[in-house]
Amino acid sequence: MAKATSSKVTKKPAASSAKPAKSPARPEDRFAEDQGDGGETHQVAGDGIAVLTTQQGIPVADDQNSLKQGVRGPTLLEDFHFREKIFHFDHERIPERVVHARGYAAHGFFELTDSLSDVSRADIFQRVGERTPAFVRFSTVAGSKGSPDLARDVRGFSVKMYTKEGNWDLVGNNIPVFFIQDAIKFPDLIHAAKPAPDRAFPQAQTAHDNFWDFITLTPESMHMVMWIMSDRTLPRSFRTMEGFGVHTFRLLDDDGASTFVKFHWKPKAGLQSVVWNEAVKINGADPDFHRRDLWDAINAGDFPEWELGVQLFDEEFANSFDFDVLDPTKIIPEEILPVRIVGRLVLDRLVDNFFAETEQVAFCTQNVPPGIDFSNDPLLQGRNFSYLDTQLKRLGGPNFTHIPINAAKSPVANFQQDGHMAMTNPKGRANYEPNTWAPELGGPREDPVRGFRSFAAEPDGPKLRARPESFADHYSQARQFLVSQTAIEQKHIGDALVFELSKVERPDIRSRMLSHLLNIDTGLAQTVADGLGMQSPEAAKAARPTNLELAPSDALSIVKNGPPNFAGRKMGILVTDGTDAKLFAALTKALDAEGAVFEVIAPKIGGVTLSDGTPLPAKQKIDGGPSVLYDAVAVIPSAKGAELLAIDKPSKDFVSDAFAHCKFIGLGAEAAPLFKKAGVYDDLDDGCLPLASAKDVGRFIEACRGLRFWPRELTVDLDARPDA
């Protein structure tokens, strides 16, 4: 850090006798005058450094001192450089989003792989192989910009596609349903989920009275509750979660005929999640865990990819269900209506500036090109109304579309003018339409053929405030989601409900939630009641009885849709001085061949010396690289190194946490002292594989292709014990 400079000031009272302090050396002192093309004079640094200027382009001579009346005098009002600099600093923070405040984004492209020209006139769905620029923002919903990445929360999955006929914003989530059926309840939902207004906590979590009070009074949320209490709200990475358009939309062909559609993004890396205790510790070790993962993957050329799938159906098919396809708390199971893959989304470029792009990007559900239209889903209709208000508040005026990240890449022509920060205004004589001026003066005209047309739906009944009876089944699909999970996933849902409700102080709210669970599954209700130490109440009154016959859907399980290999995942390798060089080389070679990445963790960041004398730098010091940051771990110290690690608390935590979180563990031949001191040596299981020599590497990597060694959880969790 540069040292501060001081100035000696004379004790004479006359200001004119005081000489200005000499400023420290600055790049500006090296400026040389240069003649640019065309004879204009401008300044450049002698060594090529650009000249510092004001926002008006005026070169700055001194950026270290404000303009004063004498060296100890008051700052002068005429100091325009200081005024501009502090003015901009005072306003460099815009209001964060009310929801989805914490986000991260990247650029990429959408490529059509199967034409939908038979059902949609949308240009983006016409030509197989054509690529459309895209920008994708991932986010959490409830927390502030400063909240951690691994909060238990819904994840936003919003895609802006810059099509040849305007921007298409598919503003979705990583969960295909939502808490509420009507947008008028959205402010209440978010108010209830956010920190309580009298105390401003808890942050980025729903484990509190307000949230569960609202939820238990809103039975339509019960399907979503099953999703948010599942591992879907603890994704391992943005790269390993699904995305959904949530609502039912319409596709329109050239004749205006409609086909209903639901949109799905399916990750090529498979579905993956973390466990709750692990998420809590990741938030402490690296609150930017998801951001860093996306940054590292794209920088490494391991570009995240999803397939775009659609569920297409007509009115007759929609009417065949016991539920309503306009109800955003419902899904159409993939076993009933398979997802047709029609394209792929690839993220291959990071943003140049986080604020300019990720923070200022403005999504809106109503941004759809010709050929895509809306259904009467009341939540979607309300979102269409809401988003423009949000952009006006956050981005300062109606011209947020002039910001590059929001600007269409197709031609834009209209008569909208002026307003805050207008970058362009219409050219020509006319600023109204219709007009009789010649084309060069009169501006654009509407096009009945190419222009956007809405589906010609017939009105349906009187104006009133009501819910259709077809929206009334609140428990059947909640049960279907539960029974579609594997045993370990069902356990995690029960654990999550017990944890969340244990933070609720009012017993009546906890009891009310138990009454809803009884309508979903009596076994789950009993598990939660036992975990809370409460008696089960009577079941809540249901508008419709729960359909117990809905078939399980394998598509709803993370474990059943996991990755086929260890590619794209991260191995943590704990080493010490004297670690077997051949073993390390064989392990890292196998990880490279698998398409995985690894990090070396050592007692000191300077690294270690392997058994053959090779120096090996470390990526992490042991107390800065806990095992929660890795998908699997290999512990391969030397004999002396293992004895030293055995007295180190972070090293013991590295082992015990990896074991508790059901990760696959590779044990070096000399690692036993550390595992004994960590208290897990006597409990080693089939998820702990020997790494005594290079020949053991293949079997270890093969085992790591599984998500976790889930049988272990039943032995390390008190809630799994029947006698607890």
pLDDT, tens digit (0-9, with 9 covering 90-100), for 323-349: 999 999 999 999 999 999 999 999 999
587 shares a domain with 659 = yes
Write down the pLDDT at residue 457: 85
Report yes or no: 485 and 557 within 8 Å, Cβ to Cβ: yes
Report yes or no: 606 and 632 within 8 Å, Cβ to Cβ: no
**Residue 484, domain member (yes or no):** no
361 shares a domain with 298 = yes
**Counted domains in the chain:** 3
Beta partners for residue 309, in sequence order: 264, 341
Q: In whole angstroms, give the CA distance from residue 134 to residue 167.
A: 9
Alpha carbon 654 to its chain's center? 27
In one letter, which amino acid is 14?
A
259 shares a domain with 111 = yes
Structural domain that includes position 668:
566-718
To the nearest 10 degrees (0 to 180), the angle between helices 487-502 and 507-520 is: 160
Report yes or no: 609 and 576 within 8 Å, Cβ to Cβ: no
**Residue 413, domain member (yes or no):** no
**Residue 91, domain member (yes or no):** no
Active-site residue, from 81, 100, 290, 661: 100
Phi-psi region of 264 (alpha: psi -120 to 50; beta: other; left: phi over 0): beta
**Residue 389, domain member (yes or no):** yes
The tokens of 681 are what?
């040596």
Q: β-pairing, 131-140 with 155-163?
A: antiparallel
Q: Looking at residue 275, which CATH number applies to its domain?
A: 2.40.180.10
Helix (H, G, I), strand (E, B) or coil at 608: strand
273 shares a domain with 383 = yes
| E-state strands within 8-65 | 31-35, 41-45
Write down the pLDDT at residue 718: 73
Q: In whole angstroms, give the CA distance from residue 14 to residue 231.
A: 74
Q: In whole angstroms, give the CA distance from residue 389 to residue 368.
A: 18
402 belongs to the catalytic site: no
DSSP class of 328: T
In the Cβ-directed half-sphere of 111, how many Cα atoms lie within 13 Å? 9
Task: Give the global pTM.
Answer: 0.90
30 shares a domain with 139 = no
710 shares a domain with 656 = yes
Q: What average pLDDT does the chain have?
A: 91
Question: For 340, phi and psi rounded to 5 degrees?
Answer: -95, 120
Write down the pLDDT at residue 247: 98
Report yes or no: 305 and 71 within 8 Å, Cβ to Cβ: no
The residue among 182, 246, 248 whose CA lies nearest residue 218 is: 182
Write down the pLDDT at residue 279: 98
The residue among 225, 215, 227 whose CA lies nearest residue 509 is: 215
693 shares a domain with 618 = yes
Q: Looking at 351, 379, 402, which one is the last position of a domain?
A: 402
345 shares a domain with 197 = yes
**Residue 432, domain member (yes or no):** no
Angstrom CA distances, 613 to 580, 604, 638, stand at 10, 17, 13
Cβ burial of 476 (10 Å; 0-12, 13-18, 19+) is buried
**Residue 526, domain member (yes or no):** no
Write down the pLDDT at residue 53: 87
Please state the three-class secondary structure of 455-503 as a single string.
CCCCCCCCCCCCCCHHHCCCCHHHHHHHHCCCHHHHHHHHHHHHHHHHC
138 shares a domain with 55 = no
117 shares a domain with 51 = no
Q: Looking at residue 601, which CATH number applies to its domain?
A: 3.40.50.880
Regions of the chain with pLDDT less than 50: 1-43
246 shares a domain with 156 = yes
Q: In whole angstroms, give the CA distance from residue 413 to residue 207.
A: 49
Q: In whole angstroms, give the CA distance from residue 560 to residue 555.
A: 7
Task: Compute the Cα dihedral for 264, 269, 271, 277 and give only its sign.
Answer: negative
CB burial readout 342-368, b (16+ within 10 A) else e = bbbbbbeebbeeeeebbbbbbbbbebb
**Residue 548, domain member (yes or no):** no
Q: Looking at 402, 421, 441, which one is the last position of a domain?
A: 402
173 belongs to the catalytic site: yes
187 shares a domain with 260 = yes
Helix (H, G, I), strand (E, B) or coil at 118: coil
Return the residue matching tokens 């009298």.
Answer: 198
Q: β-pairing, 570-574 with 597-602?
A: parallel
Active-site residue, from 81, 107, 167, 173: 173
| E-state strands within 37-190 | 41-45, 103-112, 131-140, 155-163, 166-173
**Residue 477, domain member (yes or no):** no
Q: In whole angstroms, give the CA distance from residue 522 to residue 515.
A: 10
